[in-house]
A and B are shown apart, each in its own frame.
Chain A
Amino acid sequence: MTAYAELMIGGLMSGLVVGLAALAITLVFGIARFANAATGDTMTAGAYVALSVSGATGSVIVGGLVGALAGAAIGVVVYFLIFRKLAGRSSVANLLASIGVAFIIRAIVGVIFEHQQQVFQLPLVRPWRILDIRVQPSDLNLAIVAVLTLATVFLILYATPVGRRMRAVADDPGLARISGISPTRVMIALWALAGSVSAVAGVMYGIKTVVTPEMGWDMLLPAFAAAILGGIGHPVGAICAGILLGTIQEMATPFVGFTYKLAISFVVLLIVLLVRPSGLFGRNEGAR
């Protein structure tokens, strides 16, 4: 029983990271209407910025905050340079452009920070034992960070004027425009938000694992899977799907082994899409 509980905690933590990345993807999809493949590399860039700043200041929290700001800046810059020009083009054109953006970000990260792996210099601590279940203090910290990030995102989306405008644009861009909502300002807010969420996901992933220029790109597939499972364009769905996939994957390992655990999450994705083609939380409204 304790073994399962520990597997679940592990899955929950992996799921939170995947879920945050999926949230960034789904935010962009909901409003700009394309799958942003640069999400992974924005994660990487955020992690590297956080790593440098925390190395210089000695505080991972300051590093993480600056990393999130850098992620927002990257999002906005990328929007102005690329995606603003591509507005109105097909989602495939935008997707391909975002893959190009991903390559460029990764190349810049590689040149600046080199390719050797780096780690956040955090003390490794032995776990607490709660009911004989191993709970790691660092996991608790990361979970708090994830919850704070989610709370901020949902506050912005549901309790601020700009969030309301973003949701309006997501709902019906034409109607939003004739109601006097400036698309550019919504887009800036969107890209800043998505960029900083990506960066936070990257920092969390970097703290859990190692920081390399490829780390974000490697996360892209699970994050896409979670975004689709949650119902693409649906923020709550992305988070829930990330956590669901993460925990199912880990809890299945005693039965299917480790080499097939990735396959398990895609089997779950398949089954859900067969039953509910719009994803767990997606609305049935045909082509979105």
Chain B
Amino acid sequence: MMNRRQLLATMASTTLLATAREGFAQGAPTFRIAALNPITGSGAAYGAGMQKMILAAVEEVNAAGGAGGRKIEVVAEDTQSQPQAGVLAAKKLIEIDKVQGLIGIWSSGVALATIPLANDANILFMCTSGAPEITNPQVNSKGLVYRFNTTGDGYGRAFAEACAREGFKRPATMAFNNASGIGIVDGFRKAWEKNGGKVVEAVVYEPNQPSYRSELQKVLAAKPDVIVTGSYLPDTTIILREWFQTGDTQKWMLPGQAANPDLIKAIGPEASEGLFVVNSISNEMSTAYAKFDAAYRKAMNQPGTSNIYAAMAWDMVIVLALAMEAAGPNANVAAINAKIREIANPPGKQVSSFAEGKEALKAGKVNYDGASSAVDFNQAGDVLPDFDLSVISKGVITRKNIIKI
């Protein structure tokens, strides 16, 4: 239930958003971007935090005098975590608001549906989605797409490594039927079979079912010792509740997007006991992360570790702003895009915030070390974060070890 303080905070931030638009629209030249986040739907646990961190990072940039002589202005829309709603929102943002970049797109389904719109408009696209296709040369044909998260392949490799470390022999997989869910389990299967292993059963399931019992029954019939999932929070909640009620006792290995404190709250400490969680992790030792964490605690009243996507959203704004600064006054999107790898990747002076980077850019090259990862883009536009393997015990998620792939 929303309490009075949260309601006030929501109202205040909405007002702030509105005034920010008005205020900047009249004054100096601005660069308008869209915060296109999953405020509702299956990404709801992350979307509000992502949007708030985009606003907070933009506030930092503007407080430091803007980027390339321009202030950044944000228009926010909700994707509802669904491709249809995402496309409608993206169309509105591009055609009516005339934004120059779509920032903070979360689910792969939404990303794959909205990238063509961004490409047609020749604007930047920064997402946190996992589907491998997002950055392949056909989809990312203009090089305007950046992924601040691991790919499904990377995730799958981390899962395979975690399964090997825990000594599992008979993994099965369950995947939510979308590009991201299938991307994870495909990546897992490839990595696992490369090391000579075998996946004993693989099930792909449809969203929004009143029950997943038949799916579970099929997977459990193969007698796996662990089930690896490419799943989200609501479906994982239902599946695990039903699994516990079947009385089976094999292990689970879940992606971080599905296994968070909300999951434990929903299924209880007994059913969540011993669940393994593989997650890409933020760049937790970095200075940028400390800045993000402080902003996140202030905005959301929760630690920054609870929302890795918010850290990515934060980095998106800083990377964009540094590229704008490096490209100089009134640079167009193409010129800004050309600078993104230059300011994010080595070589250059390592910087952790926009203000620091702006200062260092006067002297030479910079290399932004982000809150979510080192933010070094490869040719395709992907970064490679680290992962961790955690285990849930007595209702608490505890990190076991860090996986570097």
Contact = CB atoms under 8 A, between A and B. Distances in A.
11 contacts: A3-B217, A6-B217, A111-B2, A113-B2, A119-B266, A123-B268, A124-B244, A126-B245, A138-B245, A218-B208, A261-B206
Nearest to A121: B268
Interface in B349-392: none
A7 B214 contact: yes
B41 interface: yes
Contacts of B268: 121, 123-124
A267 interface: no
Interface string A102-118: 00000000111111111
Interface string B254-272: 0000000010011110110
A213 B82 CA distance: 14
Contact of B238 (A13, A114, A210): A210
Nearest to A2: B217
Contacts of A11: 214
Given A124-B241, A210-B234, A10 B267 contact: no
B208 A52 contact: no
A138 B211 CA distance: 13
A17 B209 CA distance: 11
B155 interface: no
A205 interface: yes
Given A17-B210, A115-B41, A209-B210, 17 more contacts: A10-B213, A10-B214, A14-B211, A110-B40, A115-B39, A116-B45, A116-B262, A117-B44, A117-B262, A124-B271, A126-B245, A127-B247, A209-B234, A209-B237, A212-B234, A257-B204, A259-B205
B93 interface: no
A91 interface: no
Contacts of A124: 241, 244-245, 267-268, 270-271
Contact of A208 (B39, B41, B210): B210
Nearest to A262: B206
A11 B212 CA distance: 10
A253 B266 contact: no
Nearest to A212: B234
B56 to A, nearest CB: 20
- Pick the 8 closest A-B CB pairs, nearest first: A115-B44, A10-B213, A218-B208, A14-B210, A119-B266, A126-B247, A115-B40, A253-B214
A131 interface: no
Given A124-B270, A210-B234, A214-B40, A258 B1 contact: no
Which range holds the interface residue count of chain B? 35 or more
Interface in A216-230: 218-219
B234 A114 contact: no
B177 A259 contact: yes
Contacts of B247: 126-127, 134
A41 interface: no
Given A115-B40, A115-B44, A125 B245 contact: yes
B186 to A, nearest CB: 15
A128 to B, nearest CB: 10
Nearest to A15: B210
Interface of A: 3, 6-7, 10-11, 13-14, 17-18, 52, 110-119, 121, 123-127, 134, 136, 138, 205, 208-210, 212-214, 218-219, 246, 250, 253-254, 257-259, 261-262
A119 B237 contact: yes
Contact of B1 (A112, A212, A214): A112
A261 B246 CA distance: 22
Contacts of A118: 266
A129 to B, nearest CB: 8
Contacts of A6: 213, 217
Nearest to A48: B1
Contact of A209 (B204, B233, B238, B265): B238
B203 interface: yes
Interface in B94-152: none
Contacts of B245: 124-127, 136, 138
Contacts of B44: 115-117, 212
B198 interface: no
A112 B234 contact: no
Contacts of B45: 116-117
B214 A127 contact: no
B297 to A, nearest CB: 18
B28 interface: no
B221 interface: yes
B218 interface: yes
Contacts of B203: 258
A208 B39 CA distance: 24
Given A111-B2, A134-B246, A210 B237 contact: yes
A31 B58 CA distance: 55
Contacts of B80: 214
B215 interface: yes
A251 to B, nearest CB: 9
Contacts of B2: 111-114
A123 to B, nearest CB: 8
Contacts of A214: 40-41, 80
Q: Which of A205, A257, A258 has the most CB of B within 10 A?
A: A258
B173 to A, nearest CB: 13
A218 B207 CA distance: 9
A102 B2 CA distance: 21
Nearest to B43: A115
